[in-house]
Structure 1
Amino acid sequence: MTGRPDRAPAEIAFAPDVPAGVRRAVEHAARTRPQVLKAAEPPLPTFDRNALARGLRATGFLAVGVTVLAPVSYGILIATQRHAAQLPGVGTGHTTSAGGFGVGFLCVLGALAAAGVVLSWRAARPNAQEVADAKAIGAAAGRYVLPGGLSDEAVELLYRAQRATARVLATAVHCDGLLDDQRNQVVLPAQVWELAQHLAEHSDLAGRQPEQAAGGRVVPLLKAHRAALAASLAGLERRVTVLEDYAEQAVLADRRYVELQQVEQLERSGAGVLDLLARTAADDLAVAEVEGMTVQAAVLAEAFTTALQQAKDAAVVAMPAKSA
């Protein structure tokens, strides 16, 4: 399914139980060989006869070139030896080595041919990693959703859900276990995967409907079909909105959490500041300002507690507990 060039940069949605190695294989194939992922059964890499033929042809051309240059090289060698034989103190023994030129040439030619055949064979043989990746992709069929197969509206919702989930998981309140980190790591990816499946189904159904009614009898059916799809998409958008609300509350609690940590750090050093002020300047106003840090910390702690509770309440809405 094609879309606008400015579509949201959504990532591939995976089922939560898909291993990391399989995810990397699918993502690599999406970048390098996207047609493999579109096939019902991704083909396994096979022995590339064309690559072997290309390699053997190149080896043949190289052998022909060496053979053509051989007489020239031999002529140069003979001329050099004759010239050397005419020099004082140089015997004819040097010229007898020219007879070994043919043997040496055949050895070089044979080595080049053998190397060419071996390299061509290795280039044509399927890479073990590619075979393993293809098998992994085939085994993961139906366990991932490609953004390229979604409609523009669907890929936008998927991107928003992925972004909201990433924002929650990146907060310090999540990383420090203040927002039920285990539940976030399990439920949020599961919700994004479920959403992706619904969006894929919606996109498939939307892509099948005709753009225009062929006759008057089709008009009401087409309108009802489009209305049902619009209602379905609106319901999915509400789920995304709830996730985004949760992310906003988590980020707000995170800001209060960081502020509280900074104030507590300043409060811990307040005693030293107060002592320094008492020893350097008996200024009641300055002392009162430093002592007021404790009150400020208490106020901020209360604000953080409120923000954290609001984030937890939003989590209940975004990730309702399923009854046993």
Structure 2
Amino acid sequence: MPMEPVFAPDVPARVRRLYGTRPELFVPAGQPKPKRETPWSIAPGNTLGQLLVWLAVCVGGWILALIVMAATLPAEVAAWSAVVLAGIAAVATVGVVVKTGIEDRGHKAVRLEHGKYLLPADFDEDAGRLLGRAQRAVKTVLEATVTRRGLLDDVQNDLVLPEQLWDIAQVLREQTILRTRQREVARGMATAELEAVLGPQRRALVLSVDAMQRKVDLLDRYADRVRSADAALRAEAALEDGDRYIELLARSEPAGDTAVVQGFADEASALRDTLTRSIDAARDAGRTLALPE
């Protein structure tokens, strides 16, 4: 799964969905915040030309309609009809003019949320790889059957995991920036003074990277526990067909080996214990990610 954008938990769902249809609107956090854009600010000449064409069509159409109505309708009816048509054209023209000064809704939404989402371009290769792991782990947990059925509700995955992912992404973004700055500063002649400054900075960066690695490892461990619980849940669902197999044996081999039937009962009992242990292990792993009070 390629790395996807990461959104702050309070970013509206409509903005998140917008990335799937209009990704070109989104601007990396490392670039300046987009400015307000309207048809006038983007292409004033083209917008003015379109307005002039609209006015020409309205005026020309009104004159043509006036000629036709004057030739076919009584004078008083033609006059009132001309006034009504002129009013409709004026209202429509005002609407077109107002629209040219209104910012595209999608662009406005993305512009207002700039800095509250991080794109793949905001991360270097090392940070992107670690963030991709975190995203895959979160996706695994949130889409698991045990999660959807509410068997892990006490872990509050819908609240905790987006917060965790956003925190990880912010730290990885800062690591990317500092790694880039270190490479830029280190270019050229190496001196003792320069090393005295960069040495502690490199060590601090290494410690931060190790801490993020451990945090993502916890997410991976949680995802593994959830996958195990999901597998046990699927096995339990498969055992629900046990009665049908028993009936099949009874109909096809009435004097068959009863050990098979007993095996179904034993397996069901063992699987219930396995499922309970798997869910408990997933909950324990999830609680290690809980947000502080």
Report the TM-score range of the alignment, normalised by the length of the smaller protein.
0.7 to 0.9
1:11 maps onto 2:4 in alignment? yes
Residue 262 of structure 2 aligns with which residue? Answer: 291
Residue 44 of structure 2 aligns with which residue? Answer: 49
2:169 aligned residue (196, 200, 206): 196
Q: Secondary structure of the residue that 1:18 maps to in structure 2?
A: coil
Indicate if the aligned counterparts of 1:173 and 1:253 stay in contact, CA closer than 8 A.
Answer: yes
Please give the alpha-carbon distance, in whole angstroms, between the structure 1 residues aligned to 2:180 and 2:100: 37
- 1:253–1:23 CA distance, 2 compared to 1 (3 A): same
Please give the alpha-carbon distance, in whole angstroms, between the structure 2 residues aligned to 1:230 and 1:152: 15
Residue 139 of structure 1 aligns with which residue? Answer: 112
1:248 maps onto 2:227 in alignment? no
Cα offset, 1:174, TM superposition: 0.8
1:222 maps onto 2:198 in alignment? yes
Indicate if the aligned counterparts of 1:44 and 1:131 stay in contact, CA closer than 8 A.
Answer: no
Paired residue type of 1:294: A
Paired residue type of 2:6: A
Q: More deviation in 202-211 or 183-192?
A: 202-211
**Counterparts of residues 301-316 of structure 1 (less than 5 Å):** 301-316=272-287
For these two proteins, the number of residue pairs brought into alignment is 249
Residue 125 of structure 2 aligns with which residue? Answer: 152
Indicate if the aligned counterparts of 2:25 and 2:110 stay in contact, CA closer than 8 A.
Answer: no
Cα offset, 1:35, TM superposition: 5.4
Cα offset, 1:126, TM superposition: 4.8
- TM-score under structure 1 normalisation? 0.67
Indicate if the aligned counterparts of 2:155 and 2:287 stay in contact, CA closer than 8 A.
Answer: no
Q: More deviation in 211-220 or 143-152?
A: 211-220
**Counterparts of residues 75-86 of structure 1 (less than 5 Å):** none
Q: Secondary structure of the residue that 1:269 maps to in structure 2?
A: helix
Q: Secondary structure of the residue that 1:297 maps to in structure 2?
A: helix
Please give the alpha-carbon distance, in whole angstroms, between the structure 2 residues aligned to 1:211 and 1:52: 50
Cα offset, 1:154, TM superposition: 0.9
**Counterparts of residues 15-54 of structure 1 (less than 5 Å):** 15-25=8-18, 31-33=23-25, 39-46=31-38, 47=40, 48-52=43-47
**Counterparts of residues 254-273 of structure 1 (less than 5 Å):** 254-263=230-239, 265-269=240-244, 272-273=247-248
Indicate if the aligned counterparts of 2:144 and 2:227 stay in contact, CA closer than 8 A.
Answer: yes
Indicate if the aligned counterparts of 1:154 and 1:203 stay in contact, CA closer than 8 A.
Answer: yes
Structure 1 vs Structure 2: percent identity of aligned residues?
31
Paired residue type of 1:303: T
Indicate if the aligned counterparts of 1:164 and 1:243 stay in contact, CA closer than 8 A.
Answer: yes
Indicate if the aligned counterparts of 1:10 and 1:147 stay in contact, CA closer than 8 A.
Answer: yes
Q: More deviation in 175-184 or 140-149?
A: 175-184
Please give the alpha-carbon distance, in whole angstroms, between the structure 2 residues aligned to 1:204 and 1:36: 13
Cα offset, 1:145, TM superposition: 1.4
1:176 aligned residue (123, 127, 149): 149
Paired residue type of 2:290: P
Cα offset, 1:267, TM superposition: 3.0
Bigger Rg over Cα = 1
Cα offset, 1:246, TM superposition: 0.4
Gaps of 5+ in 2: 54-95
- 1:134–1:241 CA distance, 2 compared to 1 (3 A): same
Paired residue type of 1:320: A
Residue 207 of structure 2 aligns with which residue? Answer: 231
Please give the alpha-carbon distance, in whole angstroms, between the structure 2 residues aligned to 1:24 and 1:140: 13
1:320 maps onto 2:290 in alignment? yes
Please give the alpha-carbon distance, in whole angstroms, between the structure 1 residues aligned to 2:159 and 2:282: 17
- TM-score under structure 2 normalisation? 0.73
Residue 186 of structure 2 aligns with which residue? Answer: 211
Cα offset, 1:316, TM superposition: 1.6
Q: Secondary structure of the residue that 2:104 maps to in structure 1?
A: helix
Paired residue type of 2:186: E
Return structure 1 stretches of 4+ with deviation > 6 angstroms. 53-56
Paired residue type of 1:290: V
